[in-house]
Chains A and B, each alone.
Chain A
Amino acid sequence: MAYTPKQVFLNGIWLENPIYRQVLGICSTLAVTNLLANTLFMCFGLIFTTALSNFTISVLRDYIPKRIRMIVQVLIIACYVMMVDIIIKALVPDIHRFIGPYVGLIITNCIIMGRAEAFASQNKPLLSLFDGIASGAGYSLVLIFIASVREPLGFGTILGVPLPARDVWWHSWIIMVMPPGAFFMLGMFTWFARRWLVREVKR
């Protein structure tokens, strides 16, 4: 099957969005979305890793023996994640303290393994690079949306900047700061996205 780059982008970002269509990579979605700044760094890390690991796996796809491909893929992904971890630690140590463990967990993020298995092991390197970027972008889109609901409602700030006249009208929804808020937001987002945004493919 041949894909055009445009199709790949559309699939990754919208039609086959990793989060609400394929239900992959949920863990980190929930954990880092209480503050927008955390989310942005997480998204950066994820796009970087999916794109480059997809590319590398696709380049090596004919040389990796079938039986040990899982462990090889995990090792390739782990190398890139380690780079991201070190970069984030150097640039923004404060944010790293909070999202550090979750950055490490990008290794076991099912989006990356899923794309490597489903796409990169069968397609050309450049196209796989695009696919990685698109899937990462689809993931980021949902994360940024959820974070931009949770942060204002939970903390009354956007990217750390207080909302205008916050003391007058704003009241904290503590549930948005706590874990349950993340589950409810993602549950509702998935519902709306599946119901209205993306039409089911007729079988």
Chain B
Amino acid sequence: MEQLQNMKFFVSLVLIFTSAAFTDNILLARFLGMCSCLAISKRVDTSIGLGGAVMFVTASTTALNYLMYNYVLIPLGIEYLRLIIFIVIIAAFVQLLEMIIERFSEKLYYALGIFLPLITVNCAILGIALFMLNKPYTFWQAFAFGAGGGCGWFLAITLIGGIREKIKESELPKGLEGPAITLIIIGIMSLAFVGFSGMIKI
């Protein structure tokens, strides 16, 4: 009986992770994190760098925000302060991360350095924390949701980076270069990801 319970719990985590990464992709279906995506996705290697950092920060801060919301804000009855608390947690976490990376790995620091401030204002991270509140998740489920969302963002920005590297070589009509063509590419990719939506229902 207990084993069945554990099994169900594990399956729900996998389901939440996949649905957050694919069917409900934070960039392609929820439109979050577009600004930094449009600015950074010109090359694959920078995309991977930013994507990885966002994935890590999203997973950790979603869990932190979950604990903060459920064990501090709700008991005190100050849910309306959630926006400020969440953004402060995210900013503080990124700052802390920057200091830790600087201390322990100089190489990683120089590779990620320019992206770290961009992460604070990446709406995908705050967005995932806010969407999480709409769903009755337990702690581990919230963590899976955050990790899945970050993973989906990583996937999307890496794919877009790859396509944009190819597009640079081709001639485009005037005015379509840069953001316009990128938005249309993202539109086509988003169509493909919407195709997954029949797969999982949660």
Q: Cα distance A130–B184 when bound, in Å?
A: 33
Inter-subunit contact B87/A27 (CB<8 Å): no
Hey, which chain A residues are within 8 Å of B179, CB to CB? 20, 23, 190
Question: Mostly helix, strand, loop or mixed at chain B's interface?
Answer: helix
Inter-subunit contact B121/A113 (CB<8 Å): yes
Hey, which chain B residues are within 8 Å of A181, CB to CB? 187
Inter-subunit contact A78/B87 (CB<8 Å): yes
Hey, which chain B residues are within 8 Å of A101, CB to CB? 127, 130-131, 134
Inter-subunit contact A71/B91 (CB<8 Å): yes
A184 close to B (CB within 8 Å): yes
A120 close to B (CB within 8 Å): no
B83 close to A (CB within 8 Å): yes
What string of 1s and 0s marks CB contacts (under 8 Å) between B76-90 and chain A? 000011111001100
B28 close to A (CB within 8 Å): yes
Q: Are A107 and B81 also in contact (CB < 8 A) when A23-B35, A101-B131, A195-B173 are? A: no
How many chain-B residues does the 8 Å CB contact rule pick out? 45
Which of B9-17, B52-60, B137-145, B188-196 is found at the contact surface with chain A? B188-196
Q: Cα distance A86–B173 when bound, in Å?
A: 45
Specify which of A74, A79, A86 lies most central, judged by the most chain B CB atoms within 10 Å of its CB: A74
B111 close to A (CB within 8 Å): no
Inter-subunit contact A179/B38 (CB<8 Å): no
Q: Cα distance A105–B32 when bound, in Å?
A: 9
B174 close to A (CB within 8 Å): yes
8 Å CB contacts to A: which residues of B143-202? 173-176, 178-184, 186-188, 190-191, 194
Inter-subunit contact A179/B28 (CB<8 Å): yes
Closest approach, in angstroms, between the C-beta of A77 and any C-beta of chain B? 9
Q: Are A75 and B173 also in contact (CB < 8 A) when A27-B34, A109-B123, A180-B188 are? A: no
CB nearest to B37 among chain A residues: A26
CB nearest to B117 among chain A residues: A70
A-B contact pairs, 17 of them (CB 8 A): A20-B179, A27-B34, A31-B31, A70-B91, A70-B120, A71-B91, A75-B84, A79-B84, A86-B80, A101-B134, A104-B83, A107-B87, A109-B123, A179-B190, A184-B187, A187-B181, A195-B174
Query: What 9 A-B pairs come out closest when comparing CB atoms?
Result: A195-B175, A183-B187, A187-B183, A187-B184, A194-B175, A26-B34, A30-B31, A108-B123, A191-B180
